[in-house]
Amino acid sequence: MTCLTQLIALSDLTLATTTWGDPRNPPVLLLHGLGDTATVWSDFAPSLADRYFAIAPDLRGHGDSDKPNSGYGFAQIIADLQALIAHFQLESVHLIGHSWTAKLAPMWATRHPDQIRSLTLIDPFFIGTMPSWFRITFPLLYKVLPFIKAMGPYESHEARSHLVVI
């Protein structure tokens, strides 16, 4: 199954988003962990494509999405995702969160249960409390640590696919 990667302009940033499957199928939103990209779903998402419309964004600050200097709190990330599902004219999604987003996903589901059809959490990160230093250090770390720069931006979907280690 082929995928489509596109840049989607929201009100205050652009999210690189990869989709698989028919948009008429039930939507499943695949959220990567911290320091990762939508590419992490590239082996799994095609297996969903015959039954679901799989949507995997590069979250704010990751991959080919915008990397603003601020706005990395859960409320802003949830707002980004709400704008993304609105872009696809969806009212609700099945939600799969991995690592850091497995903490964000239950927050979103609790605050807006009408937007979440089902919730799957994979290896939740700091499920109790997010360290306060994280909001300050992530944008700084992105600029100075070479391995985090592997989060993009990339010349093409093919170029970033070469970074996936199986």
Every domain of the chain and the residues it spans: 3-161
- Report yes or no: 28 and 35 within 8 Å, Cβ to Cβ: no
Check residue 59 and give its pLDDT.
96
- CATH for the 3-161 domain, from 3.10.520.10, 3.30.70.380, 3.40.50.1820, 3.40.50.300: 3.40.50.1820
pTM: 0.78
Between 126 and 117, the more confident residue is 117
Check residue 146 and give its pLDDT.
53
pLDDT per residue over 3-44, tens digit each? Answer: 999 999 999 999 999 999 999 999 999 999 988 999 999 999
d(CA 147, CA 127): 25
Check residue 165 and give its pLDDT.
43
Check residue 109 and give its pLDDT.
96
d(CA 39, CA 46): 12
- Could you tell me where the beta strands, DSSP code E, fall in the chain? 3-9, 14-20, 27-31, 53-57, 93-98, 116-122
pLDDT reading at 56 higher than 50: yes
